[in-house]
Amino acid sequence: MIKTFLRGIGVCALAFSLQAFGLDLRPDHPNTYVVKRGDTLWDISGKFLQKPWHWPELWQANPQIANPHLIYPGDELTLVYVDGQPRLRIGRGAAAGTVKLSPKVRVTALESPIPAIPLDAISSFLVGNRVISPEEAKSAPYVLAGDEKHIIMGVGDLIYARGDWANPTKVYGVYREGVDFVDPETKEYLGFGVVDLGSARFEDAEAGVARMRLLTTTQDVRTNDRLLQSEERKLDSTFYPRSPEQQIKGHIIHAFSGVRNASQYDVIVINRGERERLRVGDVLAIKGLGETVKDGLRGDLVKLPNERRGTVILFRTFEKVSYGLILRALSPIRVGDLVENPD
């Protein structure tokens, strides 16, 4: 009887400790899991945790591995307890590279690590979209005309562009202006998205007009499309999910689905970015604003609580806005919904 009582106290204490630490394990969590092709870090986190954004606290770094957050197909993850807290440790699988000692040393090539989220849902947004300021747009060269006065151009065509060619680069990206981003509360202009149309090679310039050759195109290039220098930054798809380090409150200001409603695996834009210290991998809760209703008995107006609608992970950040992928949608998600730290 006493042993049973003490065991019950121990279980309650451990459960309290896990909840206080923020690590709520799923009741049906596995003790070991072998990573498979097609897995994502978010999916694996969800197998162990009720709140997958607590992955960094669960993950037990292995000192012999340069970047322990890179996980490969074939790796075996084992749930252990360290000082009463759950941790995951890794057993490197053959797919991540092995050494065979006979008849001579042979190292197999590393397989690509699993991504944090489904790359097919965000691949075009990793390289095909960017956000620029009005100042950048104003100073950017633009397509003046095509050869023989063509207004629609494609790969191999000669184009003429007007701008400042004092220090030209060899190759420019060709972009088209897209959606304007405005803060719904402060009305601050946050910039606008531009869509990647292809690339053009600079040949020569005279009196502010450059002659260029289109090298690649994803769609027709037209007059007034912009020419921008390539971004000098690395787009990392191997980030891991986590909660923001600071308090965040913002709004969804655009949905790339083309309508005001969005659902799972749709890409959205929020009005918070690098200046608010948001980082790639930060996870935010999406909440709908509670309606204001009239109390039928007292006659006054009462605001209903905000409604949890889903979860979004940020995969690309700019100065004033960020792109995020909706990973979970409990109900229709709308432009204007709140985004804030997850519970």
Cα dihedral 125, 128, 133, 136, rounded to 10, equals 160
Q: C-alpha 319: how far from its chain's center?
A: 15
Count H helices, E strands: the chain?
A: 5, 24
Task: Assign 297 to helix, strand or coil.
Answer: coil
What residues pair up with 320 in beta bridges, in sequence order?
Answer: none
* Residue type, position 290, single letter: G
Encode pLDDT of 121-165 as tens digits: 888 788 778 899 888 888 999 999 998 888 899 999 999 999 999
Outline where DSSP puts E strands in 92-208.
99-100, 106-107, 129-132, 142-146, 152-153, 158-162, 171-182, 189-206
Question: What pLDDT score was predicted for residue 121?
Answer: 87
What residues pair up with 59 in beta bridges, in sequence order?
Answer: 88
State mean pLDDT over 24-45: 93
State mean pLDDT over 179-199: 93
The structural domains of the chain, with segments of one domain joined by +, span 21-107, 126-228, 249-340
The tokens for 96 are: 């991540």
CA 123, CA 222: separation in Å to the nearest integer? 24
CA 229, CA 170: separation in Å to the nearest integer? 9
Picking from 28-42, 97-111, 269-283, which range would have the lowest pLDDT averaged per residue? 97-111
Question: What pLDDT score was predicted for residue 237?
Answer: 65
Question: What pLDDT score was predicted for residue 17?
Answer: 38
Query: pLDDT grade, residue 102 (50/70/90)?
Result: very low
Q: Do domains 126-228 and 249-340 have the same CATH topology?
A: yes
Which DSSP symbol is given to 263?
Answer: -
Query: pLDDT grade, residue 95 (50/70/90)?
Result: low
Q: What is the CATH number of domain 126-228?
A: 2.40.10
Question: What pLDDT score was predicted for residue 2?
Answer: 40
**CATH architecture for residues 249-340:** Beta Barrel (2.40)
pTM: 0.81
State mean pLDDT over 196-210: 95
Nearest CA among 308, 304, 305, 309 for reference residue 262: 309
Encode pLDDT of 229-255 as tens digits: 876 555 666 788 999 999 999 999 999
Compute the Cα dihedral for 308, 309, 311, 312 and give only its sign: negative
Picking from 6-10, 172-176, 265-269, 334-338, which range would have the lowest pLDDT averaged per residue? 6-10
Question: What pLDDT score was predicted for residue 342?
Answer: 94
Question: What pLDDT score was predicted for residue 108?
Answer: 41
